[in-house]
């Protein structure tokens, strides 16, 4: 018996793109026939079907779409309805017209390198791009792509779209593998970044729950057959993610910080003595925390901001320092860091609040919360000189933050070399003693107390102190907030 194979063939796929007017005319049809086998013949006989009949389907019948190079296009519809066919037709027309297009599926992934090595032309550019998509964690910077969660991988791919410089971003099966809350967060951030950069997004998915967060200017809903519904909306930036609805900020305690401390790059067991702690709550869970601490005695940025050096009495009475801001990784890139800082600054009860942070160099959320960036500073001369001397003893600056590496070096040292390490530590300015000791009562540590602590310290404690010295040596941004008497934000 002769067998005829099943065939599926696009019989009409015409589309026209008018670049000047931003118009697409899409016309797509296909035909399908069934393979002849004993069983298909049996089905045909049972149901009275003509097995040799070729069926023709029209899925787009001269559909006109108006899409510009800054539109956010959301294509929805059931699987098999023709969303991907439309996406491919638009992509082909754009490429044939010489437009600058990138398809998320075509992004080259280097899975065996830390992600900070695979985006941006410089370290600064890499950190800024990754921070803008919510991968703003020092430990995440060092992870490889294959070590990221599905949500983090999607964020990374958006960073690659941003880096590409292309005008048109194409995405099929948009957020289809993500849980729906993460999908809304990703959709919100995608439209925010695209609109701020003046880029176009064309995203197709079966999910219809992203309308609010993606805020499309063009929504195409593809039904079965030739049914297509097209709606146009104002092309406006969506300023708030729906996931932020129902959030509350409450006063918290150190237990709240410890619940999220694992998501901060600093050692969760060490933190400055807290002055105030606030937590961000959603559906009964803590998803963010901010820790306000006593201000350090020495701070060059403060002198630049005020034009003078305040007394210790003034610092204790009038100043607070933001020492930790932690947002659960799932909820990053939707403005919660800004919200937490902005709404708690007036509650601390101090006329001045400072932030001294490495991340503030790459992510301006402190400034968005109303703080003024004054300068970027490095560790003072006593810190830098201490590191230079430690280097001669075998400590490498890039491994000094690691307690384990410090322990390894200390274990290989002679007793007289360890004594030299202790002497080097004691040359650091007194204003840093409290942070180096990371324990004890009060906001400040006297020289005698610190000297006794260092002289009695075992290798394990010395390793931790050396790690803290490395942190103090980092280049950081200094920001300040000043309470205005005219502002409605008064201490509560």
- pLDDT per position as a tens digit, 30-45: 666 667 788 877 887 7
**pLDDT digit string, tens, across residues 412-466:** 999 999 999 999 999 998 878 877 887 655 556 788 989 999 999 999 999 989 9
Average pLDDT for residues 20-24, to the nearest whole number?
86
β-sheet bridge partners, residue 481 = 353
Judge contact between 64 and 56, C-beta under 8 A. Answer: no
pLDDT of residue 185: 97
Provide the 10 A C-beta neighbour count for residue 423: 12
Phi/psi for 414 (5° steps) reads -80, 155
Smallest Cα–Cα separation from 428: which of 436, 439, 420?
A: 436
pTM over 0.75: yes
| Burial bucket for residue 301 (CB in 10 Å: 0-12, 13-18, 19+) | buried
Instruction: Quick: pLDDT tens for 53-93.
Output: 666 678 888 899 999 999 999 999 998 888 998 999 999 99
Structure tokens at 39: 């069983």
CA-closest candidate to residue 289, choices 259, 257, 315: 257
pLDDT digits (tens, 9 = 90+) for 282-299: 999 999 999 999 998 888
């Amino acid at each position: 018996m002769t067998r005829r194979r099943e065939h599926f063939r696009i019989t009409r796929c015409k589309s026209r793109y008018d670049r000047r007017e931003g118009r697409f005319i899409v016309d797509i049809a296909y035909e399908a026939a069934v393979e002849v086998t004993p069983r298909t013949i049996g089905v045909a006989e049972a149901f009275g079907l003509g097995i040799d009949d070729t069926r023709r389907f029209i899925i787009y019948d001269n559909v006109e779409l108006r899409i510009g190079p800054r539109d956010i296009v959301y294509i929805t519809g059931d699987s098999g309805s023709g969303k991907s066919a439309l996406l491919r037709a638009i992509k082909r027309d754009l490429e044939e017209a010489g437009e600058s297009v990138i398809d998320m599926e075509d992004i080259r992934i280097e899975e065996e390198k830390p992600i900070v090595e695979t985006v941006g032309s410089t370290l600064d550019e890499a950190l800024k791009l990754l921070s803008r998509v919510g991968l703003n964690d020092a430990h995440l910077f060092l992870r490889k792509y294959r070590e990221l969660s599905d949500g983090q991988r999607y964020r990374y791919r958006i960073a690659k779209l941003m880096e590409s410089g292309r005008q048109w971003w194409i995405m099929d099966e948009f957020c289809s593998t993500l849980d729906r809350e993460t999908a809304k967060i990703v959709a919100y951030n995608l439209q925010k970044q695209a609109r701020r950069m003046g880029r176009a997004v064309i995203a197709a998915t079966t999910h219809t729950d992203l309308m609010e967060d993606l805020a499309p200017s063009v929504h195409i809903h593809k039904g079965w057959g030739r049914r297509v519904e097209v709606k146009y909306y104002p092309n406006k930036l969506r300023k708030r993610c729906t996931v932020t609805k129902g959030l509350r900020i409450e006063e918290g305690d150190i237990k709240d910080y410890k619940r999220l401390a694992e998501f901060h790059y600093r050692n969760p067991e060490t933190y400055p003595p807290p002055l105030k702690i606030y937590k961000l709550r959603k559906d009964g869970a803590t998803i963010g925390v901010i820790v306000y601490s006593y201000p350090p005695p020495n701070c060059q940025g403060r002198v630049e901001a005020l034009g003078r050096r305040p007394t210790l009495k003034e610092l204790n009475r009038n100043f607070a320092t933001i020492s930790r801001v932690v947002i659960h990784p799932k909820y990053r890139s939707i403005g919660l860091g800004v919200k937490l800082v902005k709404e708690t600054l007036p509650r601390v009860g101090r006329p001045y609040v400072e932030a001294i942070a490495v991340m503030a160099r790459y992510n301006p959320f402190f400034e968005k919360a109303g703080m003024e960036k004054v300068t970027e500073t490095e560790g003072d001369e006593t810190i830098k000189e201490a590191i230079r001397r430690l280097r001669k003893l075998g400590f490498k600056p890039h491994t000094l933050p690691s307690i384990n590496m410090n322990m390894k070096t200390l274990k290989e040292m002679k007793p007289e070399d360890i004594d030299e390490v202790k002497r080097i530590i004691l040359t650091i300015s007194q204003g840093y003693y409290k942070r180096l000791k990371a324990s004890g009562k009060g906001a400040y540590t006297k020289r005698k107390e610190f000297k006794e602590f260092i002289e009695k310290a075992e290798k394990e404690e010395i390793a931790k102190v050396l790690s803290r010295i490395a942190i103090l040596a980092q280049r950081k941004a200094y920001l300040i907030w000043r309470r205005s008497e005219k502002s409605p934000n008064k201490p509560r």
